[in-house]
Chain A
């Protein structure tokens, strides 16, 4: 347990007052319209969504699992965090395409990309899934905060889960996405500053950079500084095959939409940007900050390792970065650190509250229940949905235990079986709604079978993560590709309309030719260019 002094509590209270107040200050903007409540009026310069990307993906669970993989694998553990690099490609490919669709959500985009009953079924499915998933993520990051408060103050886990999320909900309810984006900007700055301070302090406490390196050498652990310290091509816990899989997932995944669970959050920020260009840079720079943050954490965790090299319990070494802050910072600064921890927590909570509410309000309520709803009504529905998401997250949070295990499972659940379909929906005109819908349904069953059920009954061995990925991808493809080819293509007129607006990359030849024939596109001859 940590003993707080007056100055520590002062920082905490000051931060809470400022951050909630700043969010609430945009109440008048947030209540103007549905677009304001969920997309900040689509007029943001690139650096505001970028800061929100960074702040949203800096949650209380993030340093926990980054600490976990770096403590276990050294600097090479950063490759676990490299899944975020899908944004490297997405920023200049799928982000451009999505921004041009103007869809509020991925579910809405599906009705622009696909047509007919299948598209509507997808919209219902995706939006329902996202309401659930946002509640799930809220519980997930909330319980991480509960763990932190339990470690610090001995509070029951539910207290940390409930208190700060509830405070955050105040400004989300008041101002919607305007509150989210403005609070994220402030919280992002505080979080990055404190990550720097704590990490540098931790490195110094461990003997400084040279001290860390020397101690690792003395321990025979210098491999921890090597970013390519693999355990073999296929053997051990960190093989090259895993690394190659991660590179493929991250980089090729950038051509898709939804190849990472983070896409659904990014999609909102993409549409909030004032232009296509701003959306590209918001995604690129937000994620660049995320990866830089991970690197700083990695250096600090190496320091933690040399200070405490014999921790075998995952739940203990996952708290490494927090321990550096709370055990080594001086009085007064500890409170500032805790304020920063609150910042990284509520920035994520805010984003997912508003995102989940958007899916409910836009895709379910407006589209299916109340097509004639007024803007005022939609804003109020958004608020009610926000409140329901908050309450639901409390129940989910108390159901979860190990952060890392849940995170990895969530990544596979979302990424593995539908990773390829999420790319195909962007790049291949022939991939249709039924194929995509079947991939989602199949993946839900297959992921549980491959990850848990079949190993439990010893029908399959417990496969490494990367092998699970490839197996799930192949099994899924055996289902969704035949279904795609055996069902009718989407309506050509619909595809042409989408193509002209969004100009997707990939295999769209028949649609492009149809668009040119209809006079909707001008045939452009690019000398020595690779345009298709």
Chain B
């Protein structure tokens, strides 16, 4: 079993898994590194450049982890979207049938 799953079935992709949680942890860390790194880089601070570079690397890693899952989710959901939109319009116009 791979540490990071990259091949998903639609049903698997709909579940919340460790790839989501890894992304949730990496993402704010990327923001912190990019934010502080950029500010310090503009002051020609060595730590700034290092933090910025690390932020870019982690951003790429995050994308690498979560993107396959997002693609599958999107592709599968688009097949059902038309029906969901029709239901939404019926509901907003009080045309939804009950029972």
Contact = CB atoms under 8 A, between A and B. Distances in A.
Contacts of B30: 88, 288
Contact of A527 (B1, B36, B93, B94): B1
A243 to B, nearest CB: 12
Contact of A367 (B11, B37, B42, B92): B92
- With most chain A CB atoms within 10 A of its CB, the pick from B21, B32, B39, B88 is B39
Interface string B17-56: 1101101100110111011111110111100000000000
Contact of B24 (A93, A203, A299): A93
B73 A298 contact: no
A371 B93 CA distance: 4
B60 interface: no
B21 A78 contact: no
A276 interface: yes
B77 interface: yes
Given A102-B84, A276-B70, A524-B12, A295 B43 contact: no
Contacts of B74: 275-278
A203 B42 contact: yes
Given A78-B39, A531-B17, 6 more contacts: A88-B28, A102-B88, A225-B45, A367-B92, A528-B1, A531-B16
Contacts of A291: 31, 34-35
B17 A209 contact: no
A292 B28 contact: no
Contact of B39 (A108, A254, A299, A527): A299
A292 B38 contact: yes
Interface of B: 1, 5, 11-12, 14-18, 20-21, 23-24, 27-28, 30-32, 34-40, 42-45, 59, 66-67, 70-71, 73-74, 77-78, 80-81, 84-85, 88, 91-95
A78 B35 contact: yes
Contacts of A93: 20, 24
Main secondary structure of the interface of B (DSSP, over half): helix
A368 to B, nearest CB: 9
Main secondary structure of the interface of A (DSSP, over half): helix
Interface in A181-231: 199, 203, 209-210, 212-213, 225, 227
A503 B11 CA distance: 11
A244 B70 CA distance: 31
B39 to A, nearest CB: 4
B74 to A, nearest CB: 4
Interface in A490-532: 501, 503, 505, 522, 524, 526-532
Interface in A115-138: none
12 contacts: A75-B36, A89-B24, A100-B77, A102-B81, A227-B39, A276-B70, A288-B34, A299-B39, A371-B93, A371-B94, A524-B12, A529-B5
